Each structure stands twice: as C-alpha cells, then as structure tokens.
C-alpha cells in the first residue's frame, strides 16, 4: 500500500469515517443530539450521492460536491437548508484532511448558495397577550370538571407561560426536570426565581420565571398529582408515556396551533420557536442589552443573537424621529 495519506484512506469504509467525525463533534464541540442527527442525515445523503457515482469521500472531487449541490437545488431545497448541508460536507472533508485520511480538501473552495438576511418570524406583544388570555380561559372555573381535559388545558397554558417568560428552546422546555416545580414553589414564597438550564454543548445558564409562569407550574402540577398520583415518582415536569418519558416537542407544537386558531391567529404563524423569537424581540424593544438576551437564549456566539438587531434598528429610528432636536416633522 502506498505511503501517501490519500492512498492509505481509500480502502476505508465511509461509515466508520462518518462515525468518527460525529464522535469528534460530540466529544470536542459538545454537539447536541439534534445537531448530530442533522449532520448524520445530511452526510448520509452526500455519501449516497457519491456511491451512485462510483466514488467515496476519500476520492471525491469538487465536481462531485457541486453535482450534489445542483441536485439539491433541482429538488427546490431552500437556500438555508442547502447551506446547512454544504457546511456539513465542508466540515467532514476538513476532518478527513486533518486526520490525514486524504491529502487535500475538495470542499475548501466551494461557495455556498446566496442567502438573503432572513428575519425571524415574531408575534407582537398584543398577539402574545391574546394567546395567553385564550390559554388561561376557563382554567379557574369552579364549575369545570377537574379531569384530563382540564389537565391538558392547564399543561398547554403552563408551557406557553414558561416559554414566553424564559425563551427556552422547545427541547429544553418539554424536558424540564421535576425540580422546576420545586423551584417554582420556593420562588413564589420568596418572590423570585430562575431555572438552571443545561443547553447546547452542556452549557448552563439561568432562565427567569415570571410570577405568572410560576403560578401556572404550580396549578398544573397540583391537578396532575390529584388525577395521577403516580406522577410524583416521575423525573420530568411534563411527564408522558412516550419513550423519552416526557412530553414531545410535536405534541406541544400541535397544542400551540390549536391555541393560535382559537385566538384567531394564523396557526402557521405560531410555533414554539416563534414564541422564543418573540421573547427575545420584546426584551430588545423594551431596552434590554443584546448581551443579556444572548445569555438568556443560550447562544454561544453573539452573532447568532444579532439577527434580532432589526428590532434595535427600528427603535433607533423612532428615537431619532421623536427626540432629535433638528427633526421638525
């Protein structure tokens, strides 16, 4: 066998190389499971494309990658999705070169698809208030049966209150531990409270709980234990019979669509991620520092948070319009 790194690697199967790459992302970068799953899917598609051309990752050329990207474009994949897939391919080939599985990096000179600045979808403060009012309707009606229908309504309202109060990722929200209920009970007595959240990459941060969110947790928890005493032995705040043991993201997203429809809002406009955007945008509208919002959202890089600066731009325009001494309009 040749001593050249590229020649040495050509006999290696792509699956172990992909596994090694994913293990590196998990170990050295602390990539979350959802991130690893996305890389696995994107790179599996790429490797399948190479196999169809009789090639592999160790002898792929830049034209092979371009053909794959062209096929994605022909399938009318959104530019953001295509850019994500290209990013995965670039990182994979960078890994192969760094580990001396091959001597070159065919993806290094590729340009990604052009993307416009995509602003996050957000709801106005009034729309969120409306959504919260609809979620709270009838929850304290003494004539309403204390059954699983009421429990589902209280759970949906609780999830919404906590999400808008804290800006959690939906995966963080549905997997809150039972200790969140204990903290809510303690903080009601003490007049404050923050959740400790372990987010992407194992990074910990504090997430605030408003009085309304704390009260919603306690009200939901009280009815849950009344109807299902066994829930006291569960480790999750929102237990479920599913494989994970806690409520799924899909169930909450569906419940949120129902609430949106009941509030007269377009269901397509409302999702857990949109509520997270609303949390950040409304804080900035009210004068919060961008660095503080970065911390609350759990963004490792402030560049990720800067997508919300369009809110600051509008506020600055309003300040110049209303406060500048030479503005006579």
273 in active site = yes
At CA 117, angle to CA 116 and CA 123, rounded to 5?
130
Nearest of 48, 34, 30 to residue 89 by alpha carbon: 48
For residue 270, what pLDDT is reported? 93
Q: 10: pLDDT confidence band, cut at 50, 70 and 90?
A: very low
Residue 118 makes CB contacts below 8 A (sequence gap 6+) with: 80, 307
169 in active site = yes
Render pLDDT for 248-304 as a digit per residue (tens, 0 to 9). 999 999 999 999 999 999 998 899 999 998 898 888 888 888 888 888 888 777 777
List residues bridging with 194 in a β-sheet.
Answer: 208
**Mean pLDDT of the residues in the chain:** 82
Higher-scoring residue by pLDDT: 13, 174: 174
- Most confident listed range (121-125, 200-204, 272-276): 272-276
Whether residue 5 is predicted with pLDDT greater than 50 in this model: the reply is: no
200 in active site = yes
Name the active-site residue from 273, 277, 310, 321: 273
Distance CA 154, CA 221 (A): 9
Name the active-site residue from 8, 10, 200, 257: 200
Residue 36 makes CB contacts below 8 A (sequence gap 6+) with: 22, 25, 26
Render pLDDT for 205-246 as a digit per residue (tens, 0 to 9). 888 888 899 999 999 999 999 999 998 888 999 999 888 899
| Structure tokens belonging to residue 283 | 């804080």
Distance CA 277, CA 90 (A): 29
| Structure tokens belonging to residue 298 | 């759990």
Distance CA 329, CA 321 (A): 8
Instruction: Kindly state the average pLDDT of the residues 30-40.
Output: 85
Name the active-site residue from 102, 169, 205, 221: 169
Render pLDDT for 74-106 as a digit per residue (tens, 0 to 9). 887 777 788 888 889 999 999 999 898 999 999
| Structure tokens belonging to residue 101 | 């599985």
> What is the number of other CB atoms lying within 10 angstroms of the CB of residue 226?
11
90 in active site = no
Name the active-site residue from 93, 276, 277, 282: 276
Mark residue 114 as left, alpha or beta (left: phi above 0; alpha: psi -120 to 50; beta: remaining).
beta
- Most confident listed range (4-8, 45-49, 324-328): 45-49
- The 8 Å CB, 24+ separation contacts for 103-109 are 103/4, 103/5, 103/6, 104/6, 106/60, 106/61, 106/62, 106/64, 106/65, 107/62, 107/65, 109/62
For residue 206, what pLDDT is reported? 82
List residues bridging with 197 in a β-sheet.
Answer: 205
220 in active site = no
Distance CA 308, CA 328 (A): 30
For residue 86, what pLDDT is reported? 87
For residue 11, what pLDDT is reported? 36
Radius of gyration of the chain (CA): 24
Q: How far is CA 54 from CA 48, 50, 90, 316, in A?
A: 10, 6, 20, 57
Distance CA 83, CA 63 (A): 17
For residue 182, what pLDDT is reported? 79
């Amino acid at each position: 066998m040749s001593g050249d790194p590229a020649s040495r690697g050509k006999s290696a199967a792509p699956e172990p190389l992909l596994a090694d790459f994913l293990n590196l992302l998990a170990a050295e970068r602390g990539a979350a499971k959802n991130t690893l799953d996305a890389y696995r899917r994107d790179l599996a598609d790429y490797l399948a494309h190479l196999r169809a051309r009789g090639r592999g990752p160790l002898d792929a050329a830049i034209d092979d990658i371009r053909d794959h990207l062209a096929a994605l474009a022909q399938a009318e994949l959104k530019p953001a999705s295509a850019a994500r897939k290209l990013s995965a391919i670039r990182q994979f080939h960078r890994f192969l070169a760094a580990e001396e599985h091959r001597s070159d990096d065919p993806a290094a000179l590729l340009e990604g698809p052009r993307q416009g600045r995509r602003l996050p979808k957000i709801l106005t403060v009034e729309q969120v208030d409306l959504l919260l009012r609809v979620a709270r309707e009838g929850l304290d009606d003494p004539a309403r049966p204390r059954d699983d229908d009421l429990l589902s309504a209280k759970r949906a309202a609780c999830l919404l209150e906590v999400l808008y109060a804290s800006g959690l990722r939906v995966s963080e929200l549905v997997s809150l531990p039972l200790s969140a209920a204990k903290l809510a009970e303690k903080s009601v007595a003490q007049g404050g409270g923050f959740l400790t959240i372990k987010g992407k990459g194992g990074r910990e941060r504090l997430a605030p709980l408003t009085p309304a969110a704390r009260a919603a947790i306690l009200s939901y928890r009280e009815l849950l234990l009344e109807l299902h005493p066994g829930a006291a032995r569960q480790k999750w705040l929102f237990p479920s019979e599913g494989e994970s043991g806690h409520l799924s993201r899909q169930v909450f997203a569906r419940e949120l669509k129902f609430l949106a429809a009941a509030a007269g809002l377009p269901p397509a406009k409302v999702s857990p991620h949109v509520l997270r955007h609303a949390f950040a945008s409304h804080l900035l509208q009210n004068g919060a520092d961008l660095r503080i919002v970065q911390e609350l959202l759990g963004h490792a890089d402030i560049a990720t948070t800067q997508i919300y600066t369009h809110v600051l731009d509008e506020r600055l325009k309003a300040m110049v319009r209303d406060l500048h001494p030479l503005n006579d309009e």
